[in-house]
Amino acid sequence: MAYVNYATQEINCKIVYYGPGLGGKTSNIKYIYSKINPELKGKLISLATETDRTLFFDFMPLELGSVKGFKTRLHLYTVPGQVFYNASRKLILKGVDGVILVADSQIERMDANIESIRNLQENLHELSYELHELPYVLQLNKRDLNPISTVEEMRNKLGVKNEPVFEAIAVQGIGVFHTLKEMAKLVLIDLKRKMG
């Protein structure tokens, strides 16, 4: 849930990029970070181990506008792709305001994508959230590789609530900002609804 800082007149919203290992979560964050005005972003923090490129999170606040006189700041996180870091995944999901599932379009990665969405739903449920109640966007990444699943097949297997779906090639920045802008819009609509 969004954190309101009355001292700084800011509402802080947490967006989590979720998905299988090497699916493109970190590529999304790094591309966004590289294109944002330096005056509008905080420090990018990346923790890595020998077995996973992003062990804990990439963090980046992004100025967005105001809601009821408060500036809105988005905090973007990624989760570790490897299932054995599930405790870290849960920790990162705590307080989430919106989720972007970054799915790998390669046909041989479909099982990993399905496992990620199931794991996401389980972890959210344990934290007393339900995915169908949260702002949620599905990004179909790696559309430049072959062979890949069709958009329709991926939507059928990974969709949960008729959420917005974007095709992407995160390493080239294609679809990255479209995905983020839609998520920001959904989070702000949800925030305004909750604030009355």
> What are the tens digits of pLDDT across the range 137-166?
999 999 999 999 999 999 999 999 999 999
pLDDT of residue 37 exceeding 70, the answer is yes
Instruction: Write down the domain spans for the chain.
Output: 3-195
CATH no., domain 3-195: 3.40.50.300
> What are the tens digits of pLDDT across the range 49-64?
666 655 444 455 666 6
The per-residue pLDDT for 14 is 93
Evaluate whether 81 touches 22 at the Cβ level (below 8 Å): yes
Distance, CA of 149 to CA of 26 (rounded, Å): 22
Evaluate whether 135 touches 98 at the Cβ level (below 8 Å): yes
